[in-house]
Each structure stands twice: as structure tokens, then as C-alpha cells.
Amino acid sequence: MLILKVTAIEPIHGYGIVQRLQQISKEALQVRQGSLYPALYRLENKGWLKSEWKITEGGRDAKFYSLTKAGRAHLDQETRDWRKLCNAIELVLDFAG
Amino acid sequence: MRLHRKRETLGWEREMSAEMQFHFDSLVRDFMAEGLSREEAERRARQEFGSLELAKDEARDTRPLEWFYSVVKDLRLSIRGIRHSPAFSLTVIATLGLGIGATATVFSLANAWMLRSLPYSEPDRIYAIFENRPREVGSDRIPASVPDFQDWRAQNKSFEAMGSYESADFIYSSGDQSQRVRGAFVAHDLFQALGVRPQAGRYFEEDEFWLSQATVTIVSDGFWRRMLGADPNAIGKTIMISDRPRRIVGILPSGFEPPIRSWDVYIPRPNNGMEKFRGAHGINVIARIKPGVSFDRARQDMDVISKRLEQQYPENKGHYASVVPLAEALHGEFRTSTWALMGAASLVLLIACFNVANLMMARASARAREVATRLALGAARSRIARQFLTESFLLASLGAVLGIGIAFGGAALLRAILPPSTAVIPEDIRIDPAVLALAACLALITALICGALPALNASRAELNGVMREGSRGQSASAAQRWSRSAFVVAETALALVLTVGAGLLLRSFWNMQSVDPGFRVEKLLTMELMLPPSYSEGDKTLAFQNRLLESTRALPGVVRAGFTTYLPVTGQNVRRNMEIQGIVHQGSEPRRANARIASPGYFEAMGIPVLSGRTCLDRDTQKNPVAILNEAAVQRYWQGREPLGTKVQFSGMNDDWAEVVGVTADVKHFGLEAVPRPELFLCSYAPPTIMALVVRTQGEPETLMSAVRLKLREVDANVPPLELRSMEDIIERSGASRRFLTSLVAGFAGLALLLAAIGIYAQLAYSVTQRTPEIGIRMALGARQAQVIGMVLQHGLLLAGSGLAAGFVVALILAGWTQKLLFGVTPLDAATFATAPLVLLGVAGVACLIPAWRAARADPARTLRHD
């Protein structure tokens, strides 16, 4: 879901995604960067991302990923579900505490 | 050899590499921007990114057709692996090829049998009905008599059609050409019972049976094509069969195969005078059960009828109608042999599998280092296991291909040596889709059996343990070592079982060969003939016989000659009720004997010993009939009294009584393995038109064949010989099926011993290689060559010995199954059970020698330095 969120803003390549995630979560998520790609490919297989080879600012070829319409719909749904879950947990915590 | 890779794959791979490379390079660039040196930056990048190969592998797993691509990759790796270890691969392929080939060959035989097994519609509704006399030994399937058949037919409620057949030979004459054709006398609904419908014309009608001369005939499709040129107007035409005109009223369809052999001509059963005798048994009854009626119901029905007949007719005392499914009646014997062969082939296949499993385990443990390395690099255990399985599937497939090739040869061999049989025709033994499917299944199963264990073991390889092993890199867990030894022991046991089986069969064969048929077999020529009906008036037959005897005896190279009705060993027979004047019959069944007519010179020509009295002389004629008995008859019916001088009579002899003038030794009439039955020869008393000439020759019988045939032509050109062959040929033919079975099983046993020997050798060689350091040390410490050899031999004999013991027990248990196939030996024959283990020990000993020898010759300095 995080990947989808990152790509929602603008088309971005794999390294960019990792950088953005590190910015956002401030190094809280530590995984091997290489395992990003299987996740990206799976999302692409599902039709939520689409990819395109473009030239970066540095002049190199890189594959850029962007959200598809279906991906956006899925992201919205996932976000809503997540928020609902968070609210529910908060309620419980408020109630219990 | 590169398998074709889809362009898409290349493109995808390239893209993915480029993408990841970009990511990696970006990491390096950024780290360098932070001030790290190039090597530092690359190190950090590697840390952050993780293993490139691993990432690529994981990424590949996401591809939609991933499974396909990984299978292709596995195959490529497997092919490479196979090419890199040719000795191993070839051994595995050859071993599997032998196992699968043997099994497929035997299966083609069983397949041919099943193909031919009753090509009739709804064959499980067809039954043969025999007469069974439980109180008489060896009389459980006797042909029926005509009155019994008529009663069965009239009184039963379970069968919708019942007919009979009697095999017969006819003479078809067209123009001045005469030819013998095979066929049958048919009564009532035989065709309906078999479920065959003429392709043209009709069935016989009720009023066409039991006439003095049948005027109609039904012919086979083959006859119609060969002899009548597929004449479209054949129906209604008249042809000459055995000197009588018969109108063709029906042609059978082309797919029809009669129960016994290919028949061409069918004639409605005429009335030949024997029909009123309930005691004369000669017809074979076939019936089709009504739909919805069960086998048991039909049997009970016939039992009721049998009891009724028993009460009404004293000569039927102790007789029961026996209803048997036709398949069993015709092919029961063959089925047992086929099962035995399949069992033997399966054992060979199993042994082959054990060998291959051991080989694969050895190889897997040799590759343990490679596996550990791959695991360290992050490969999934399941992938590795899958690749090993792919390898074994590939090897198994190649083995199956080789096996099919071997099966082609095997099928050809079977076709060549198949004994004449009603159950199978040689042409049916071929590699057809069913056999191919079996081979494929076997390949699959063996791949699973042999490949699964090593694959599982390999994927469980312990990283640390393997990496720390000696340079040889061969590790074997205790479980592996144990299972390898267990396999060798198992296959040795199976080899022993098969050897025992072969031994039992070989002894049976030997016994059969040593049977004394009761006459002198060598240098004996035989000719079977049938005279046309014109001979059945008056003394024409006798005159014919005398003329032929005279001219044959005059031939140079002929020592003696004589006539009889049926030749020994062929099993053809006529049995009649017999009366003995002056001796009151004790038993509950009427007295019976096989009835034959002999001419003067017959017994001498055959070399049958005369025990008392004399044989036939020229002066014995119908007017004062004389009879010669065999010993079995005397012992059975004469109650210890002197047989010479008593008077006997057969049913059908009207009021004539024959005086017994001689007793001869028993002759094996029903085949070498059967018990002789009472026989009575009448001398020159109304010889029937079926007869056999026997000629004792000075040289080889074959040299006189054309001369004798010529003499026959001179006497009467219209009489073709039915069979002209030497007695040795007949005897050999009668033993053909036993020879067939025995040679095949013996061949399989040999194969099994070979494979087991290879297995023992491989295991010992492997263990010697494992223990080379230890041997080196021992020798360095002063052990002598002989001791080393002894050590290895001990190991080998321990394996072989355990296998022997296990196999011995299994053989004891299974021996009972072979009962039906044996002759003159019991299943638990001591000699066989004693010899077979010795044979196996010898073979195992030889297999142990080579590794032992090599171990002893090892140079201790070198082997110690090796590590």
C-alpha cells in the first residue's frame, strides 16, 4: 500500500521509491532494497501499476512506475479500510483505557 | 545445446537487470557523493540492496508464466548435468531401459491376449457348458453328448441361445483341385450364442440340423474372399465340401474369430448315428445367458437339470453340467502363465529401480557441496529439490525410450517363439498405444521412486557439515548409508526369489523332457489324413489302408508302418462306454476307454512294448474282432483277472464282441504331463475315415516326406494329407508352451541376477572409495593385501547374505503360487531352494571381487596423501 501511495504522487523509479520511503518513515522500515522489485512486479501484474522506460535527470534510462486507475481505486479503498481499522482500534483503546 | 529462449524472456531479463543495475549504481553514486571511496560505496550499496542474484530470483518468481520458465531452466540444467556425468547417466538409463523394456515386452503379450480374448459382443455373457464328473480324476471339463445337449437346451430357463460346435476338417473341391479346409459342425444357436451376425445371408434353420447329409453351409469372410473371390452372388451358390454339394446360405463378417482357431466352413451337424448315445461325448456347448440372469442363477438352473437327467438316465450318474465363462474355459491356462511372466518382469523392474535409486543417492551426496553452496547463495530448497526431480524425470524418460526400443526387440522375439496357442496370435504382440502408455507410466513412477529420496535428502543438506567435509566432498548421513544398504539387500532378495522361481520351472521342464511317452520317438514319420465320405461304405477304408501300407512299406528307408485313428500326444480322442463280458462292474460310473482302431504293424512301428499276448495281425478282421488293451485299462477294470481271452464291447459295435489278445504298455496320449487313461485298440475293425499313418524310418523322417506323400497320391489323389510331420515335431510342439514360459522366466532371472550383481558391485565400490583413507592407514600399519580383500569381501557377503536370507523367506511364502505351473516338482522343492542361493552367492562373490581387488592394490602412500 505504501508503494502505491508513493507512486500516486508522480511517476517514479524503484530507487526513487526507496528514497521517498526512507524520507517519509525516517529509516523505520529496513528491508533489503532488492526485495522492492518483486513487490513492484506483482503490483504491475495485478494491473495497479504501469511502467515506462524514461530518461532521468542524470541522463540514464530508468523504469518509471505510475498508478493506474484501478490502482488508484484500490489505494483509496485500502486507505479507507486502514483508517477504519485505526479508528476502531482507537475507540477500543479509549474505551479500555 | 541451447534450448530456444523466447525473445520475450530475453527482453524481460534484460530489462530487469538494467533496472536493478540502475538502482545499484544510483546507490553507489549517492554513497560516493557522501564521501565514501568507490570500494566502500559499492560495499555499502551491496549491503543495502542485498544480493543482486537473490533479488533477481525473487523477481523472476513473479512472472506470470514463471513455472514454465523455471521448468525450462531446470531441464537445461538437467541436460547439462547428465552430459557432465556420462558414466552415471548411461548406467541409469541402461538399467531403467532394461527394467522398463522387460515389463513392456511382457505387457505386450498380455495385451495381445486381452485383445484376442473374446472379440464377441458382450463376452461376459457367454459361457461354455461342460460335463463335470467330480468323482473321476481329471474329468472336470468333458465335452457334452448330443442327448445331454438337447436336454440342456430344451429344459433351461437361463440362456437365450445355446449351440454347439465340433472342430472338423473338410475337403473343399473345385474343379479338380482339392484342398483341406478347417471348420466345424455346428448345432442350433452357436452363432447367436457368440453374438455374431452373418454379413450376408442367414443363420442355419432348425430343420437343417441332424439330417443324414447337410445340404447347406455357412462360410467365413476369409474363405469367401480367398476361395470364392468375394463373389457378390455367393449366397445360393453350391460348392463341394467333402464330396457333397452344399448350398451357401450365409457369410460371416470379417471381424469374427471362432473360439478355437480360424475356421472357414461351418456345416450343420448331421446325424451320424452317435446322437442317440448319451454316453458318447464329443460336442462343445456354448451358451449366451439371458440379460438380467446372474451366473449363480444359471448354475443352479443347470444343476437342477443335471439332477433330473441323473435320475432319468443311469449312464448320467455322477455327471453335472458345469457352466464356465468362456474366457476362462479357453484361455485359463494361458492366463496363469501370463501372470507369472508379469510377476517376473515386475521383479526385474523393481530391482532396476533399487539400483537406480542407489546410484542417484550416491550422486546426490557427491553433489552435496554444490547444493550447500547454492543454498548459501539464497536458493530455495524447493527449487533445488525440484531441479533434482526434473533430472530424474529426464533420466527416467530417456530410460523409457530405451525401454521401448528394447520392447520392440522383445516383442519380435516373443512373436518368433510363441507356441501355437488359441489365446494369442503372434501378430497381436506389438507395441501399440497401450504399451507405450504403460512405458510412460513406468517412467513416471520410477522417476518418483528413485528421484524423490535423493531430492529430499539433497534439499535437507546441512550447510556446516557439508562445508567441513574432506576434499572428496562426499558426505553420507547415516540414514542415507542405511537406505543404500537396505536397497542392495532388497534387490538381492528379489533376485533370489526370481531365481528360485526359474529353478522350479527349469526342473519342471526337465521333468517334462524326460517323460517316457511310451513309444520310441525318434525316426518316426506321421501323416494324418481324412477320407472323403465316399469311403464310408463297406470295406473301402480298409482297402485303402492296405494299399497305402503296402506301397509305403516298399519304400527304401522304411522299416515299419501302420495305421491308427489318432496319434499319441496330440490329445485327440474318442471315448466310448465299454462292456466286459463276465466281469461285473463295481464302480458307480460306467466303464469307459479311449477307442482306437489299429492296423497290423502299428504297435511295432511305434515301438510300443507288448506286455502280454500279441498285437494285430493281418487275419484280424471285422468278422472276428480282436482287441488290444493298455495297462491302465487292465488295472482299472479287470479287477486282477487275466485279461487275455476276455471279451469286450464298445457302445456302437452292435452285437460284436472282441476278444482281448494282447496288453501293451501305457502311452502318453494326452500330452507328456497327463496321466494315461484306459485304452482299447480294435484291430482293423471298421476303421473310420479319420486316420493317421505312422512310419518308422531308417534315416531322418523328413527325408521320406515327399515319398510318402507321393504314395498317397498314387493310391488316391483326392485325399490330401492333413498333417505330415515327424513325431519329434509333435512332441516338441506339445512342450512348446512350457518351453516358452520357462525360457522367458529363466531369462528374467538371469537379468535379475545381473542387476543385483551390479548393485552389489556399485555399493562395494562406493564404500571402498569412502573407506580408502582407512584402508590406506591399515595398510600403512602393516595390514596385508589378503586382509584388505577379506575386509571388503566380508562387507559384500554380509550384504548378499542378508539379501539371501530375506529372499529365502519371501520365496518360501510365494512358492505356493507357482503350483499350477509346475510338473513333477512341489513348490517347496528342496533341490531348487538349496541351489538357488548358491548361484546367487557365486554371482555376488564375483561382484565383490573387483572392488576387493582394487582396494588391495591401492597404494597406501598415495591414498593417504590424497586428502
Residue with cell 445331454: B148
Strand ranges across the sheet with B558-564: B558-564, B690-697, B524-530, B721-726
Distance from CA of B383 to the nearest CA of A (A): 17
Work out the pLDDT band at B722, boundaries 50, 70, 90. Answer: confident
C-alpha B240/C-alpha B248 separation (Å) is: 10
In chain A, which residues have their Cβ closer than 8 Å to the Cβ of B53?
A: none
Helix (H, G, I), strand (E, B) or coil at B248: strand
Residue of A nearest to B20 (CA): A34
Name the grid cell of B356.
537406480
CB contact (8 A) between residue B61 and residue A60: no
What amino acid is encoded at B526 in this protein? T
Residue type, B653: M
B752 — pLDDT class (breaks 50, 70, 90): very high
Residue B537 has a pLDDT of 64
pLDDT score at B402? 93
Gap from A30 CA to chain B (nearest CA, Å)? 9
* R_g of chain B computed on alpha carbons: 38
Chain A residue closest in CA terms to B58: A38
Of B22, B51, B58, the CB nearest to A38: B58
Is B682 in contact with B651 (CB distance < 8 Å)? no
* C-alpha distance from residue B55 to each of A9, A65, B168, B242, B378 (Å): 26, 18, 83, 91, 10
Quick one: closest CA in B to A56, which residue?
B22
pLDDT at B657 over 60: yes
Q: How confident is the model at residue B320 (pLDDT cuts 50, 70, 90)?
A: confident
Rounded distance between C-alpha atoms, residue B576 and residue B596, angstroms: 10
Cell of residue B664, nine digits = 501293451
Q: Which residue, B69, B736, B66, B26, is CA-closest to B337? A: B736
Would you place residue B472 in the very low, low, confident or very high pLDDT band (cuts 50, 70, 90)?
A: very low
Average pLDDT on B22-37 reads 88
Calculate mean pLDDT across residues B472-481: 60
Residue with grid cell 485359463, as numbered in its chain:
B332
| A34 vs B52, B62, B63: nearest CB | B52
**pLDDT tens across B679-701, in order?**
889 888 877 777 899 999 998 88
Half-sphere exposure for B388 (CA within 13 Å, toward CB): 28
Q: CA of B390 to nearest chain A CA: how many angstroms apart?
A: 26
Whether A37 sits inside 8 A of B58 (CB atoms) is yes
Q: 3-class SS at B853?
A: helix
Distances (CA, A) of B497 to A49, B96, B348, B803: 67, 20, 11, 10
Hey, which bits of chain A come out as E strands?
Answer: 12-13, 49-55, 61-67
**Chain B residues lying within 8 Å of A62, measured CB to CB:** 19, 22
- The rounded distance, in Å, linking the Cα atoms of B690 and B186 is 19
Yes or no: say if B3 and B72 are a contact pair by the CB < 8 Å rule. yes
Nearest CB to B48 within list A33, A41, A61:
A33
- Whether A34 sits inside 8 A of B63 (CB atoms) is no
The pLDDT tens digits of the residues spanning B570-621 come to 777 776 778 888 777 776 667 778 888 889 999 999 999 999 999 888 888 7
Of the given ranges (B166-180, B459-473, B635-649), which has the lowest mean pLDDT?
B459-473
Q: Is the pLDDT of residue B433 over 70?
A: yes
Please indicate whether, in this complex, the C-beta atoms of A35 and B58 are within 8 angstroms of each other. Answer: yes
Residue of chain A with shortest Cα separation from B16: A37
Interface of A with B (CB under 8 A): 13-15, 18, 32-35, 37-38, 41-42, 45, 53, 60-63
Q: Is the pLDDT of residue A89 over 80?
A: yes
B62–A42 C-beta distance less than 8 A: yes
Residue B107 to chain A, least CA–CA distance (Å): 49
Give the separation between CA B632 and CA B675, rounded to whole angstroms.
10
CB–CB contact A60 B22 (8 Å): yes
Residue type (1 letter), B270: P
Of B842, B817, B840, B815, nearest in space to B829 by CA: B815
Q: Which pLDDT belongs to residue B493?
A: 92
> Distance from A76 to chain B by nearest Cα, in Å?
25
In the predicted structure, residue B348 carries a pLDDT above the cut 90: yes
CA atoms B166, B167, B171, B174: torsion sign:
positive
Contact B54 A34 (CB under 8 A): yes
Q: Chain A residues with CB inside 8 Å of B64's CB?
A: 45
Chain A, nearest residue to B22 by Cα: A62
Neighbour count for residue A77 (Cβ, 10 Å): 10
Cα–Cα distance for residue pair B595/B133, rounded to 1 Å: 20
Residues of B in contact with A60 (CB under 8 A): 22, 25
Phi-psi region of B667 (alpha: psi -120 to 50; beta: other; left: phi over 0): beta
Q: What percent of chain B has pLDDT over 70?
A: 91
Minimum distance, in Å, between the CA of residue A41 and any CA atom of chain B: 6
Using a CB–CB cut-off of 8 Å, the residues of B that contact A are 15-16, 18-20, 22-23, 25-27, 48-52, 54-55, 58-59, 61-64
Contacts of B51 in chain A (CB under 8 A): 34
Strands B592-598 and B679-683, by their bridges, are: parallel
Do the bridges between strand B281-289 and strand B159-174 make them parallel or antiparallel, or are there none, so unpaired?
antiparallel
Phi, psi of B802 (to 5 degrees): -60, -45
Question: pTM value?
Answer: 0.73
Chain A contact set for B11 (CB, 8 A): none
- Secondary structure letter of residue B231 according to DSSP: -
pLDDT at B162 > cutoff 90: yes
pLDDT, chain B, mean: 83
Tell me: pLDDT of B561 over 70: yes
Encoded amino acid at B382, one letter: S
Q: Which of B60, B184, B139 is nearest to B322 (CA)?
A: B139
Q: Do B61 and A62 touch (CB under 8 A)?
A: no
For B348, counting Cβ atoms within 10 Å of its Cβ (0-12 exposed, 13-18 middle, 19+ buried), the class is buried
Whether residue B286 contacts residue B129, with contact meaning beta carbons closer than 8 Å, is answered with yes
Predicted pLDDT at B139: 55
Across the interface, whether the CB atoms of B55 and A32 are under 8 A apart is answered yes
Query: Of the candidates A33, A38, A53, which has its C-beta nearest B23's C-beta?
Result: A33
Q: A88: phi > 0 → left, psi -120 to 50 → alpha, else beta; which?
A: alpha
What was the pLDDT predicted at B473? 42
**Chain A residues with CB-CB distance to B52 below 8 A:** 34
The DSSP bridge pattern shows strands B679-683 and B524-530 to be unpaired
Helix axes B381-417, B326-366, angle to 10 degrees: 140
Residues of chain A found within 8 Å of residue B66, distances taken between Cβ atoms = none
Which of A15, A18, A38 is nearest residue B61 as measured by Cβ atoms? A38
pLDDT tier, B123 (very low <50, low <70, confident <90, very high otherwise): confident
Q: In Å, how far from its chain's centre is CA B26?
A: 75
Q: Please check the confidence at residue B304 and state whether its pLDDT lies above 80.
A: yes
Average pLDDT over residues B649-653: 76
Q: Which residue has the higher pLDDT, B734 or B92?
A: B92
Give the torsion sign (CA, B733, B735, B739, B740): positive
Disruptive mutation site among B17, B19, B29, B44 for chain A (greatest number of A CBs within 10 Å): B19
Which of A41, A53, A62 faces B59 most closely, judged by CB atoms?
A: A41
Of B23, B54, B62, the CB nearest to A41: B62
Whether A14 and B16 lie within 8 Å, measured CB to CB? no
Distance from CA of A84 to the nearest CA of B (A): 31
Most confidently predicted of A27-41, B126-140, B657-671: B657-671
Q: What does DSSP assign to residue B112?
A: H
pLDDT at residue B588, rounded to an integer: 63
CB B414 within 8 A of CB B401: no
The cell for B452 is 524423490
Q: How many beta-carbon contacts under 8 Å exist across A and B?
A: 60
| HSE-CB of B639 using CA atoms within 13 angstroms | 10
How far is the C-alpha of B810 from the C-alpha of B684, rounded, in Å? 58
The residue of chain B with its CA nearest to that of A42 is: B62
* Beta strands B658-664 and B281-289, pairing class: unpaired
Measured distance CA(B109)–CA(B105) in Å, rounded: 7
CA distance, residue B10 to nearest chain A CA (Å): 17
Q: How far is B3 from chain A (nearest CA, A)?
A: 26
| Confidence band of B732 (pLDDT split at 50, 70, 90) | confident
Output the CA torsion sign for B345, B351, B357, B363. negative
Q: What is the spatial distance between Cα B113 and Cα B737, in angstroms, rounded to a whole number?
A: 14
**Structure confidence at residue B458 as a pLDDT band (50, 70, 90):** low
pLDDT digits over A18-49, tens only?
A: 888 877 776 656 667 888 888 888 888 888 88
Neighbour count for residue B242 (Cβ, 10 Å):
25
The cell for B818 is 507357482
A41/B63 touch (CB, cutoff 8 Å), yes or no: yes
CA dist A36 → A82, B56, B70, B452, B620 (Å)? 22, 11, 21, 34, 113
Partner residues linked to B630 by β-bridges: B664
- Of residues B423 and B776, more confidence is placed in B776
**What value, to the nearest 5°, has the Cα angle with vertex B591 and ends B587 and B597?**
165
Closest C-alpha to B49, from B73, B77, B10, B19: B19
Q: Per the structure block, which three cell numbers stand in for B201?
A: 445371408
Chain A residues in contact with B20 by the CB 8 A cut-off are 14, 34, 37
How far CA B522 is from CA of B95, B557, B602, B702, B722, in Å, comes to 45, 14, 15, 11, 21
**Residue B339 confidence (pLDDT):** 86
Distance CA B144, CA B309 (A): 13
pLDDT category at B118 given cuts 50, 70, 90 is: low
How far apart CA B70 and CA B707 sit, in angstroms, is 77
Instruction: Measure B465 CA to nearest chain A CA, in Å.
Output: 28
Most A-contacting residue of B21, B57, B62, B377 (CB-CB within 10 A), to test interface: B62
Containing B524, the helix (H) or strand (E) segment is strand B524-530
